Structures are given as structure tokens and as C-alpha cells.
């Protein structure tokens, strides 16, 4: 079996199952192996009925009576009553009448599932049933939990991956032995098996460290390899009359911050020079990067050149478009502004492409549609990618290739400590915008327990009555027996009952189709939805100045940098805004981390503090950096590994700049595979 073998070569995978896997982006054996677990279940110790509590439990019960099956109008319900000296438990199975034939009166069984309190009694629905001896052996194991789609169950994922990993040497290890030894990295086949089916927590940490190293190493190696091959080219577009930008600044209804002025000066110097600009503007949420992009794009149009900005979502692209139109009218500019997104009709796209060829000084706004093959530009001299952490290096290069040595500007709101930013964006000069405009009120924060929820709901209702809106972020899309935490579907239903019919509650998550996601975000932007219950897909979304409340459930499950990004969705208007973080953990470490966010609104300070607090086993449920190029790696959690990977990539290229040595053949192949996989995940 090879990595590029079709998924159907795995025994038991037929055409129908292959279609379901295709919806997950899985076509080959290599694809399925890269679908790493989202979490792991370690089965709890067995308890007696008297020891149970709400949540996931494994209960040891001696069956005293045969379960009773009742036939209702919709389904058959099988019930087994279990009693201790103090507590009672009702075990319930739906549409499983055969379960009573598998249980023998007088014998002990272990029932595993989620216990809830209903009508004053404990109930466990759809419990799994195990022999005590078998369950005893399972307690020491970690069982993987995967992201799924319709037609694919977790058991099917486990079965398929077990079959794929049965080949003892599916991979050849491409890393030189010297690098593996220096980094204390395990062998690749071992890492792949242990990431899916770890023997212990230690082997899981060891496997993850190796695979994280590989992601960082291949990314940095590819970036540095291209950088060494391509000297910075002379730009075909030299920008004149910088005083034009100064005149526009005077027309702004606010003064730029000192940090904005410094970044603007950096860009003006770059674009007035002989060589193409390659600069990263790293600015905290709400620091005013978009206005800088507009000023540079207007300057390009004034010099007779085209410019283009690529946003990560259609809603954000449309918002940029409306904003640019508004600013152009306010400043008395008459430059063409063109929008191009994937959801536009064929006729609209054709018209937009024609305008790109017709207007040589157009300001262009769009999404990934801007870099499709059929899109050509007449005179592209400046390309900007907004929210860089959502795009890969190759994607940025593809954008730049649409022009003739255009100036490149990259913008990111991810607060990355400078030492790490230099590694990740090693091919770019960096300007930091670390001040927030004075006109914006700082967000007021609070970290609360679950008992505060009723007050939070009253506060949200009060804000809505004042004409404002609110976000509520949950970690899960739907309830899961394998993962604890609030989910958007059930939470939205609960809020509907609490807030009443006068407040419109919307639901947003990553499983929705793009058109539906765009529709919901536009409704929220227009205040047609007052409370939006969402997963972290709102982290990079739309600017809604009217939103004043961000409530984050299970806040301890998120990284601080991601929480800070979420908090940045509010505080964008003139009204006071609030961030309510609900901590559902009793752990002192969770409280300590959240208090950092509670005390500060400075994203760079928060990122630095978070680096100091993270431990080697803290990687469940907290991956926070969101970079599309990494499946496992987190630049905060894995900062030390990132630095080691950077050193290893430099060592390889110093010894073999062209990667032409025979011993690096596997390395070249793996680097190319990594980049292809990146592009595939970006749908390019």
C-alpha cells in the first residue's frame, strides 16, 4: 500500500463510502492518515451507582431484572433500572430492543455513557455495554475522536486507519539522522501510529512533537528555499508623489496613531524605491490596518496602477468593498473599485474580469477568486493579503504572479511575538502596529463561573433592547458523547427560550455551506439577527460595530491568543463593549491563564504571557493560532519546536542550497507533497 493509493484499496471501503470520504477531502491513503484526531477519550474508572454524577461515567451494575421494552408510536424504548444504597440510575436505549437479550440477570456489566439529571433522577441514554474484564483493559488506552461528515462514523475512521497503518513501513523517514538525533525526534512511522492510537500520554506527546516539527520544518524549508532562489526583483512600478497620501490623511475624520504612521512611512519608502516591497503589517485587532491598505491602494491608483486586496471571507471582502466605495466618495476620488468573489453569478464575474482588463488603475477587492487561472490583470502593481494566517506562502506567491514584480503587503491580526514572526515570515520585512486608535473604548472583561449565566443572559437582553447585538461562542457544533462542552445547536435553542421571541437568535458554524454562512453573517451585520451563537468561525468574519457583547463558553478550552481574536469582534464602534468568559474548569491553571486576558487588552502581551504558561501536555482543545498551513502545530504551544525546525531548515540549505544531493531526494518529495496538500486544503 502506498500513500498515493486510492482510499478504496483499503479493505471494506466501497464506492459509497469513498464518496463520503471525498466530502472530507480524503481520496488517498495518505489523505486519511493526515486526518489527525481532534481529541482522545480516556475511559473513566468504574464507579458504583452511589458514586455517579452528571457527565461521562462508567458504571458497574449487577443486572437484577431483565430490561423492559416499551413500544411507542415512534420507537421502541428499552429501560433497565439500577439501584445503589442511596442513588438510582435509569439506563435507556432507543430503537435497540435486542439489548435485553444481551444482558444476563445476575451478572455484572459496565455501562458507559453520559449521565444527565432528568425530573430529579439520573438517566444514562444509549450507553455502551462492556464486560468488566474488557473495560478494565480499556481504562489504560487513549481512543481517538475524529472530525466526521455524514456517512462516516468514528468507528469507521478507527477501522480504516487501523487498516492503513497495518503496513509497518508505509513511510520512509526523509529526515536526516543527524537532525532527528539533535531534536530527539522519533521515527516517522512510529509517530504516525502513535498519533492515531497512542499507547500512553508520553508516546502521544512524543509522536505529536515529531509531526509538529515536520509541519514547521517543511513550511520553513519551502519558504527559505524559494527565498534563496529568488532574489528580490526590481519592481516595474515605482510610486511617485507621496504627498498625495499626506493629503488623504488630512481628510480622515481621525488622526492616525503613531504606530500607523510608522507603518505608513515604511510602506511609502518601500514603494518609492527600486525594489519590490515584501512587507508584513502585524497589527492587533482593531489597530486600523484596513485604512492603511486603502491609502496604499489609492496611492497606486493615483500613480496609474492597479492594486488588489484578498480577504479570507466573502462577507469581509464585501465589507471592504463598501468601505472603499464610501472612503473614495468622502475623499473625492474617482478611481474604479471592482469586487470579485466566488459566489457572484457567471455574468457578474465576467463583468468584473472585463473591468480588470479595462481599468489600469482599478482598486480590486475579493476572495480566493482573485487568483483563479481565468483572472487576468492589466497593470497589477500592489497585492495585499488580509488576515495572512489564513493563507499559505504558495498562495501569496500565486497572487503576486498575477502582476509583474508587484509590491507585496501582508496583513495579520494574529499577535505573534516578534521572535516567532521573524521565523514564520522570514521572507518579509515586518512593521508592527501595536496601538489602538484613541477613539475606541477598551473592552471591559470578566471571567465568571457557570452560575453567572442567568445574569449574562439578562445583560445580553438589556444590550439588545438598547439597540446593540451580541456574539455567543461555543466550542462544539453539536452534542458529542466523546467531548465535553457547550454546542451551538443546543445553546441557540436554550437562548431562544430564555431571551424570548422578540430577539432573533442565529446559528453559525463551519459545517454550514459557504453561501449559508455568508447569508447569516450579512443578516447579523444588518441587525436582522441580534444574537449570533457561533463556533470560532467568527474569529475572522465581519466588522459589526453595533455588536457590544462577546460571551465565550468553556473559555478555558481556547488558547489566549484565540480568545483575544474573538474578543476583537466587539469594541469596534463608539459604544462600550464587554467580553464575558465562562470558565467551566475547577483547575487553578485555567483560572490563571484566563486572568491574563481579564487584565489586559494588549494582544502582544497576552501572546507572550501565554507562551510562558503552556506545558507539554496542554494541547487538547486549545490549538489557537489557526494557520491554514498547519494541521497539528500551534505557534504558541510549540514555539520551542518552531525554533528548532527553523535551525534545522537553515542547516539543510547551508549544506545543500539546491537540495540536489541524493540523500535529500526524499526531502524534496516530502516538501512538494506538503505544499500540494496545503493548496488542496485551500481549494486551489
Cα–Cα distance measured from residue 491 to residue 506, given in angstroms and rounded to the nearest whole number: 11
Backbone torsions φ then ψ of 42, nearest 5 degrees = -110, 115
Residues with Cβ within 8 Å of residue 231, at least 6 apart in sequence? none
Strand 278-283: give its sheet, edge to edge: 337-340, 363-366, 306-310, 380-385, 407-412, 278-283, 429-433
Q: What is the pLDDT of residue 677?
A: 75
Confidence of residue 447 (pLDDT cuts 50, 70, 90): very high
Q: What is the pLDDT of residue 81?
A: 95
Between residues 252 and 416, the one the model is more confident about: 252
In terms of CATH, what superfamily is 243-433? P-loop containing nucleotide triphosphate hydrolases (3.40.50.300)
What would the 3-class secondary structure string for 454-492 be?
HHHHHHHHHHHHCCCEEEEECCECCCCCCCCCCEHHHHH
Output the CA–CA distances (angstroms, integers) from residue 628 to 12, 217, 341, 512, 583, in the order listed. 31, 15, 20, 18, 28
Between residues 433 and 479, the one the model is more confident about: 433
Query: What is the arithmetic mean of pLDDT over 550-578?
Result: 90
Which percentage of the chain shows pLDDT scores above 90? 56
Output the CA–CA distances (angstroms, integers) from residue 433 to 274, 388, 412, 598, 603, in the order listed. 25, 15, 10, 22, 11
Confidence of residue 391 (pLDDT cuts 50, 70, 90): low
Question: Is the pLDDT assigned to residue 424 strictly greater than 90?
Answer: no
Between residues 614 and 25, the one the model is more confident about: 25
Domain spanning 44-140, CATH class: mainly beta
- Smallest CA-to-CA distance from 482 within 193, 126, 114 is with 114
In angstroms, how far is CA 509 from the centroid of its own chain? Answer: 11
Which percentage of the chain shows pLDDT scores above 70? 92
Q: What is the pLDDT of residues 394-411, one digit of tens each?
A: 666 777 788 878 899 999
Q: From start to end of 84-183, where are the E strands? A: 88-94, 108-118, 121-125, 128-130, 142-145
SS3 83: strand
Residue 514 and residue 314 in contact, taking contact as beta carbons nearer than 8 Å: yes
Question: Is the pLDDT assigned to residue 274 strictly greater than 80?
Answer: yes
First to last CA, the chain: 27
Q: Which pairing describes strands 55-62 and 108-118: parallel, antiparallel, or unpaired?
A: antiparallel
Return mean pLDDT, the chain: 88
Q: What is the pLDDT of residue 631?
A: 86
Output the CA–CA distances (angstroms, integers) from residue 641 to 415, 537, 549, in the order listed. 19, 27, 36
Question: Is the pLDDT assigned to residue 539 strictly greater than 80?
Answer: no
Q: What is the pLDDT of residues 298-333, one digit of tens each?
A: 999 999 999 999 988 888 899 899 999 999 999 999
Output the CA–CA distances (angstroms, integers) from residue 159 to 126, 154, 376, 654, in the order listed. 22, 9, 47, 43
Q: What is the pLDDT of residue 231?
A: 60
3-state helix, strand, coil in the chain (%, to 5): 45, 20, 40
- Smallest CA-to-CA distance from 302 within 229, 369, 381 is with 381
Fold entry, domain 444-600: Rossmann fold (3.40.50)
Confidence of residue 607 (pLDDT cuts 50, 70, 90): confident
Confidence of residue 387 (pLDDT cuts 50, 70, 90): low
Question: Is the pLDDT assigned to residue 73 strictly greater than 50?
Answer: yes
Confidence of residue 481 (pLDDT cuts 50, 70, 90): low
Residue 583 and residue 590 in contact, taking contact as beta carbons nearer than 8 Å: yes
| Cα torsion 628, 629, 632, 633: sign | negative
Residue 635 and residue 416 in contact, taking contact as beta carbons nearer than 8 Å: yes
146 is written with which cell numbers? 475524529
Strand 505-508: give its sheet, edge to edge: 444-448, 578-582, 547-552, 469-473, 531-534, 505-508
Q: Would you list the domain boundaries of the chain?
A: 1-43+146-166, 44-140, 243-433, 444-600
- H/E element, 366: strand 363-366
Question: Is the pLDDT assigned to residue 246 strictly greater than 50?
Answer: yes
Question: What single-letter DSSP state applies at residue 186?
Answer: P
Q: What is the pLDDT of residue 625?
A: 43
Confidence of residue 468 (pLDDT cuts 50, 70, 90): very high
What would the 3-class secondary structure string for 367-415 be?
CHHHHCCCCCCCCEEEEEECCHHHCCHHHHHHHHCCCCCCEEEEEECCC
Q: What is the pLDDT of residues 126-149, one digit of tens each?
A: 999 999 999 998 887 888 999 888
Query: What is the arithmetic mean of pLDDT over 260-265?
Result: 96
Question: Is the pLDDT assigned to residue 249 strictly greater than 90?
Answer: yes
Fold match between domain 44-140 and domain 243-433: no
User: Which residue has 492515531 as its cell numbers?
Assistant: 196
Question: Is the pLDDT assigned to residue 622 strictly greater than 50?
Answer: no
Question: Is the pLDDT assigned to residue 259 strictly greater than 60?
Answer: yes
Q: What is the pLDDT of residue 612?
A: 67
Question: Is the pLDDT assigned to residue 440 strictly greater than 80?
Answer: no
Question: Is the pLDDT assigned to residue 380 strictly greater than 90?
Answer: yes
Residue 622 and residue 559 in contact, taking contact as beta carbons nearer than 8 Å: yes
Least confidently predicted of 41-50, 260-269, 476-485, 545-554: 476-485
Q: What is the pLDDT of residue 616?
A: 41
Query: What is the arithmetic mean of pLDDT over 69-73?
Result: 85
Helices (H) and strands (E) in the chain, counts: 23, 23
Q: From start to end of 138-277, where are the E strands? A: 142-145
Q: What is the pLDDT of residues 626-651, one digit of tens each?
A: 444 688 888 777 888 999 999 999 99
Amino acid at each position: 500500500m502506498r500513500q498515493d493509493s486510492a482510499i478504496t484499496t483499503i479493505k471494506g471501503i466501497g464506492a459509497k463510502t469513498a464518496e463520503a470520504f471525498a466530502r472530507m477531502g480524503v481520496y488517498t491513503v495518505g489523505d486519511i492518515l493526515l486526518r489527525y484526531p481532534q481529541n482522545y477519550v480516556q475511559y473513566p474508572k468504574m464507579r458504583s451507582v452511589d458514586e455517579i454524577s452528571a457527565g461521562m461515567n462508567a458504571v458497574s451494575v449487577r443486572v437484577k431484572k431483565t430490561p423492559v421494552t416499551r413500544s411507542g408510536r415512534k420507537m421502541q424504548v428499552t429501560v433497565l433500572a439500577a439501584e445503589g444504597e442511596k442513588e438510582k440510575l435509569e439506563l435507556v436505549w432507543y430503537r435497540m430492543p435486542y439489548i435485553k437479550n444481551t444482558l444476563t440477570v445476575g451478572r455484572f456489566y459496565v455501562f458507559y455513557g453520559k449521565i444527565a439529571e432528568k425530573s430529579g433522577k439520573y438517566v444514562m441514554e444509549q450507553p455502551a455495554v462492556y464486560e468488566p474484564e474488557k473495560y478494565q483493559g480499556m481504562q489504560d488506552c487513549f481512543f481517538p475522536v475524529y472530525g466526521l461528515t455524514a456517512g462516516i462514523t468514528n468507528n469507521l475512521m478507527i477501522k480504516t486507519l487501523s487498516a492503513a497503518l497495518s503496513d509497518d513501513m508505509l513511510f520512509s523517514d526523509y529526515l536526516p539522522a543527524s537532525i532527528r538525533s539533535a531534536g530527539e525526534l522519533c521515527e516517522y512511522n512510529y509517530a504516525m501510529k502513535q498519533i492515531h492510537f497512542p499507547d500512553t500520554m508520553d508516546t502521544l506527546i512524543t509522536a505529536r512533537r515529531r509531526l509538529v516539527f515536520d509541519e514547521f520544518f517543511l513550511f520553513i524549508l519551502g519558504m527559505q528555499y524559494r527565498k534563496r532562489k529568488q532574489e528580490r526583483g526590481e519592481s516595474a512600478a515605482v510610486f511617485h508623489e507621496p504627498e498625495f497620501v499626506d493629503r488623504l490623511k488630512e481628510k480622515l475624520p481621525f488622526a492616525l496613531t503613531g504606530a500607523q504612521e510608522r507603518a505608513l512611512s515604511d510602506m511609502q519608502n518601500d514603494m518609492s524605491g527600486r525594489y519590490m516591497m515584501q512587507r508584513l503589517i502585524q497589527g492587533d485587532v482593531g489597530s486600523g490596518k484596513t485604512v492603511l491598505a486603502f491609502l496604499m491602494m489609492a496611492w497606486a491608483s493615483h500613480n496609474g496602477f492597479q492594486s488588489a486586496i484578498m480577504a479570507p471571507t466573502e462577507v469581509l471582502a464585501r465589507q471592504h468593498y463598501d468601505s472603499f466605495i464610501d472612503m473614495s466618495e468622502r475623499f473625492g476620488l474617482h478611481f474604479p473599485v471592482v469586487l470579485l468573489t466566488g459566489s457572484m453569478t457567471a455574468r457578474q464575474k465576467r463583468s468584473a474580469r472585463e473591468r480588470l482588463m479595462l481599468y489600469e488603475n482599478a482598486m480590486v477587492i475579493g476572495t480566493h477568486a482573485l487568483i483563479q487561472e481565468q483572472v487576468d490583470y492589466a497593470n497589477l502593481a500592489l497585492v495585499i493579503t488580509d488576515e495572512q494566517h489564513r493563507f499559505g506562502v504558495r498562495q501569496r506567491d500565486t497572487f503576486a504572479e498575477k502582476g509583474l514584480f508587484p509590491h507585496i503587503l501582508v496583513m495579520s491580526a494574529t499577535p505573534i511575538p516578534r521572535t516567532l514572526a521573524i521565523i514564520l515570515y522570514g521572507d518579509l520585512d515586518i512593521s508592527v502596529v501595536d496601538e489602538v486608535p484613541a477613539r475606541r473604548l477598551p473592552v471591559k472583561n470578566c471571567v465568571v463561573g457557570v452560575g453567572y449565566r442567568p445574569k449574562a443572559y439578562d445583560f445580553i437582553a438589556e444590550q439588545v433592547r438598547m439597540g446593540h447585538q451580541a456574539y455567543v461562542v461555543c466550542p462544539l457544533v453539536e452534542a458529542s458523547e466523546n467531548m465535553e462542552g457547550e454546542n451551538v445547536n443546543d445553546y441557540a435553542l436554550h437562548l431562544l427560550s430564555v431571551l424570548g421571541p422578540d430577539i432573533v437568535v442565529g446559528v453559525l458554524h463551519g459545517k454550514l455551506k459557504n453561501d449559508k454562512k455568508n447569508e447569516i453573517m450579512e443578516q447579523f451585520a444588518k441587525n436582522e439577527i441580534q444574537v449570533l451563537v457561533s463556533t470560532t468561525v467568527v474569529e475572522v468574519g465581519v466588522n459589526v460595530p453595533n455588536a457590544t457583547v462577546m460571551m465565550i463558553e468553556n473559555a478555558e478550552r481556547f488558547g489566549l491568543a484565540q480568545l483575544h481574536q474573538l474578543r476583537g469582534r466587539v469594541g469596534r464602534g463608539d459604544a462600550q463593549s464587554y467580553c464575558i468568559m465562562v470558565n467551566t474548569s475547577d483547575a487553578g491553571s485555567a483560572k490563571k491563564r484566563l486572568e491574563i486576558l481579564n487584565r489586559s487588552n494588549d494582544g502582544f502581551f497576552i501572546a507572550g504571557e501565554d507562551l510562558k504558561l503552556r506545558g507539554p501536555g496542554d494541547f487538547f482543545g486549545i490549538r489557537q493560532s489557526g494557520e491554514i498551513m498547519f494541521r497539528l502545530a500551534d505557534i504558541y504551544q510549540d514555539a520551542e519546536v518552531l525554533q528548532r525546525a527553523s535551525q534545522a531548515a537553515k542547516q539543510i540549505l547551508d549544506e545543500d542550497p539546491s537540495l540536489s544531493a541524493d540523500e535529500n531526494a526524499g526531502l524534496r518529495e516530502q516538501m512538494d507533497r506538503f505544499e500540494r496538500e496545503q493548496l488542496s486544503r485551500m481549494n486551489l
